[in-house]
Amino acid sequence: MSSPATAPPAVRTSGLTRRFGAVLAVDGVDLTVERGAVFGLLGPDGAGKSTLLRLLATVLRPSAGEAQVFGHSTEREAQEITGRIGYMSQRFAMYPDLTVAENLDFFATVRGVPKTQRATRATALLEGMGLGEFRGRQARHLSGGMKQKLMLATTLMHEPDLLLLDEPTTGVDPVSRREFWRVLAGLHRAGTTVLVATPYMDEAERCTSIAFLDGGRIRQTGTPAEVAALVPGTLVEVVCPDPRAAVAALADLPEAGSPHVLGDVVRVLWRGPAADAEGALAAHLAAAGMPSAQVRAARVDMETAFAVLAEAGR
Amino acid sequence: MSPTLTRIGAVARKEFIHVRRDPRLLAVVLVMPIMQLLLFAYAISFDVRNLPTLVVDLDHTPDSTAYVRAYEASGLFEVTSRADSLAAVDGAFDRNEARVAVVVPAGFARSLARGEAAEVGILLDGSEPNSARIAQTYAAALNQLESRQIAVTWAATQGIDLTQSGSVEPRLRTWYNPERASSIFLVPGLMVVVIMIVTAQQTAVTLVREREQGTAEQLLVSPLRRVELMVGKLTPWVLMAFLDLVVIAVLGLFLFHIPLRGSVLALGIGAALFVASCLGIGLIVSAVAPSLDTANMAAFLVAFLPAFLLSGFAFALDQVPAVIEWISRVFPARYMVTISRGVFLKGAGLDQLWPEVAALAAYALVTLVLAARLNGRRA
């Protein structure tokens, strides 16, 4: 709990719970997002990421517990919140028959952006995202990446203090994704708090903090490095001519956790002492008829951390 | 400009763009009412003319022949067949050869000659109640007229001068619509029905579409108030419905020669409130309907059917069962039909029609507030 003198964090939830009938989508989530953070919300499909964001965006009411955005209750003081946040839903939520410029102008007007600023901001945002030449195009005729950028631009027109982004780059080509994150980095530097749900692990590594969500609960939270450190064991890669055979051969080695093929190598989470990994694995594979197998240490990336932690949570 | 007006203006402008970009919608809004007006005005006719009539004359006297001729002369009845027994009536009704049967019993002339009341049987095919009712009224009037003449003839033969004693010849007159042309009676009501169908149907899908597009959620996460959204969505449709109304009224005046006898101001105020009420009904449907299909169907049910059946447009509300009459008060169409007919046909103004105008004002307000409350509920 912060003292009354300090400003409340961008987001604070306690015991936040949301049910849909018998399904517990969000289950007692305690989460704090500090101002200025780029906070990544990770988790498999159905983990409750979207529901959590919708609760924070005041779109949904909590079934139990509480959520505060900038110190205001999402349930009782939604009017205090909606003007300060930008919520970008997972699906395209613009008027398909309105042009890019009309969509921007409509939502900005409704959100109280003065007329004098609407045009300049729209131009700046569209130019900045490479949408300048598409101003007059109806939203339905935009490509997937352009649609996402339009949504982001619309969300940014009223210069929100907190951005809630629900899988903003899903279905977007890699170049557009990079541009998208470049825009977010700029916002981060300008002091905007960003809470982004994403299934892409490389994006998680761009965040200042992340939380793993699974089954509606937060399993781990911290900086990307802290979360990577939570992965139990040592990650090693085995290079061999036949990775599938190696995976099969490692199934009866108890210390070789979750062996799986990644590209042309086999990844193993070594549960024994780290120093033993190389020797034990090579010996086991040699015994299984793969004497040429080479073992080397690997860095725990977010993808692996996510997979391992999600598996451990089940 | 106040923030509220700015936001309402933004919504209204956006709605106009939707309509402008959708040629089909534009056609529905501007062409369909005219089509419906023409279609209904020509297809639905309550004019009763040349009712096929079966004559069973069992008396075979000059008196009975004269009596039957009076039916033929009326223009309402057309004697299409004659028979010599009552049994023929059933068959003629079944085969749709006759809707009315006039039975003159034997002894008709004798009763008249004795100065007694002569009994005549008029049988009506009740399976078409509207024609039957009118035929009944006409036959009754005709009989009254005829019996008076018969009485006159009889009195004359007895040497009594009835005309001197101030006998009055009964005459049936229909007020406001002397020719009883049903189009004059229908068109002012039809306007109401057409407007109700077009407007309620359009707003019924508007909120559902916002939800399906995901834009409803974006509106929820904005300072836009729910009532502001409703008013903004309503504005373009009120204007378009008014345009429809003017076109229909002009068509009615020039094509169907309906009169415009009363206060145009009363008509305008009533129409504005009525349109707002219909749009409000549409918005309520839209707020609760789970899908576009459901919204369309529900709007049809709550707009089309009550507009036709419970507005007094087709069926006089003082002749329906009390329960139905009571239900009809829940829909705005009946008030507007009263206003429309009052202004066009009876020359009424606000001083006569204020109860209906007040009812519509209350209706518009309640539906809009209800729609706003039902719509933006946070799940």
Tens-place pLDDT, residues B148-166: 555 555 544 444 444 433 3
Sheet holding A162-166, edge to edge: A85-88, A162-166, A193-197, A38-42, A209-214, A217-222
| A188 and A306, same domain (yes or no) | no
Lowest mean pLDDT segment, chosen from A296-300, B50-54, B167-171 = B167-171
| A300 and A194, same domain (yes or no) | no
Candidate ranges A146-155, B108-117, B127-136, B305-314; pick with highest mean pLDDT: A146-155
Q: What is the per-residue pLDDT for A33? A: 93
Q: For the stretch A226-259, what's the b/e string if a residue is b when 16 or more beta carbons lie within 10 angstroms of its beta carbon?
A: ebbebbebbbbbbebeebebbbebbeebebbbbb
Rounded to a whole number, what is the distance in Å from the CA of A106 to chain B's nearest CA? 6
Q: What is the per-residue pLDDT for A102? A: 95
| A147 and A255, same domain (yes or no) | no
Q: What is the per-residue pLDDT for B145? A: 65
| A28 and A128, same domain (yes or no) | yes
Residues B255-266, mean pLDDT to the nearest whole number: 85
Contact residues, chain A, for B14 at CB < 8 Å: 95, 98, 102, 106
Q: What is the per-residue pLDDT for B95? A: 79
Q: What is the per-residue pLDDT for B174? A: 45
Q: Which residue of B lies nearest to A63 if distances are taken between CA atoms?
A: B379
Q: What is the per-residue pLDDT for A56? A: 93
The SS3 assignment for A38 reads strand
Q: What is the per-residue pLDDT for B190? A: 82
Q: What is the per-residue pLDDT for B88? A: 81
| A168 and A308, same domain (yes or no) | no
pLDDT-derived band at B207, boundaries 50, 70, 90: confident
| A259 and A161, same domain (yes or no) | no
Q: What is the per-residue pLDDT for B126? A: 67
Cβ-proximal residues to B104 (8 Å cutoff; 6+ apart), any chain: B55, B56, B57, B58, B59, B64, B67, B68, B120, B121
Closest CA to A97 of A66, A133, A128, A141: A141
| A11 and A121, same domain (yes or no) | yes
Rounded to a whole number, what is the distance in Å from the CA of B211 to chain A's nearest CA? 9
Q: Of A195, A225, A255, which residue constitutes the final position of a domain? A: A225
| A220 and A255, same domain (yes or no) | no
Contact residues, chain A, for B18 at CB < 8 Å: 95, 97-98
% of residues, chain B, pLDDT over 70: 82
| A91 and A208, same domain (yes or no) | yes
Query: A23 in contact with B at a CB cutoff of 8 Å?
Result: no
User: Taking 90 as the threshold, does the pLDDT of residue B202 lie above it?
Assistant: no
Q: What is the per-residue pLDDT for B172? A: 43
| A17 and A110, same domain (yes or no) | yes
Q: What is the per-residue pLDDT for A2? A: 45
The radius of gyration of chain A from alpha carbons, rounded to an integer in Å, stands at 23
The distance from CA A199 to its chain's CA centroid, rounded to whole angstroms, is 6
User: Mutate which of B13, B218, B226, B229 to test chain A, going by most A C-beta atoms within 10 A?
Assistant: B218
Contact residues, chain A, for B224 at CB < 8 Å: 110
Chain A to chain B, count of Cβ pairs less than 8 Å apart? 79
Which stretches of chain A score pLDDT less than 70? 1-5, 312-314
Tell me the pLDDT of chain B averaged across its residues.
79
ipTM for the complex? Answer: 0.78
What whole-number distance in Å separates Cα of residue B113 and Cα of residue B38? Answer: 54
Q: What is the per-residue pLDDT for A39? A: 94
Pair of tokens at residue A121: 């901001």
For chain A, report the end-to-end CA distance as a whole number of angstroms. 31
Q: Which residue of A lies nearest to B210 if distances are taken between CA atoms?
A: A95
Q: What is the per-residue pLDDT for B8? A: 93
Query: A94 in contact with B at a CB cutoff of 8 Å?
Result: yes
| Subunit contact B218:A109, Cβ cutoff 8 A | no
Q: What is the per-residue pLDDT for B170? A: 39
Closest CA to A173 of A140, A212, A132, A130: A130
The SS3 assignment for B179 reads coil
Rounded to a whole number, what is the distance in Å from the CA of B321 to chain A's nearest CA? 44
CATH number of the domain that A282 lies in? 3.30.70.100
| A19 and A111, same domain (yes or no) | yes
What whole-number distance in Å separates Cα of residue A233 and Cα of residue A36? Answer: 33
Q: What is the per-residue pLDDT for A52? A: 94
How many domains is chain A built from? 2
What whole-number distance in Å separates Cα of residue A204 and Cα of residue A152? Answer: 19
Enumerate domains of chain B plus CATH numbers: 3-44+180-374 (no CATH), 51-165 (3.40.1710.10)
Contact residues, chain B, for A95 at CB < 8 Å: 14, 18, 213, 215
Query: A63 in contact with B at a CB cutoff of 8 Å?
Result: no
| Subunit contact A102:B218, Cβ cutoff 8 A | no
Pair of tokens at residue A135: 């101003």
Domain that holds residue A298: 231-313
CATH number of the domain that A50 lies in? 3.40.50.300
Q: Of A225, A258, A286, which residue constitutes the final position of a domain? A: A225
Sheet holding A294-297, edge to edge: A256-262, A265-270, A234-239, A294-297
Q: What is the per-residue pLDDT for B155? A: 47
% of residues, chain A, pLDDT over 90: 37
- pTM recorded for the entire structure: 0.73
Q: What is the per-residue pLDDT for A30? A: 93
Q: What is the per-residue pLDDT for B165? A: 35
Residues B194-210, mean pLDDT to the nearest whole number: 84
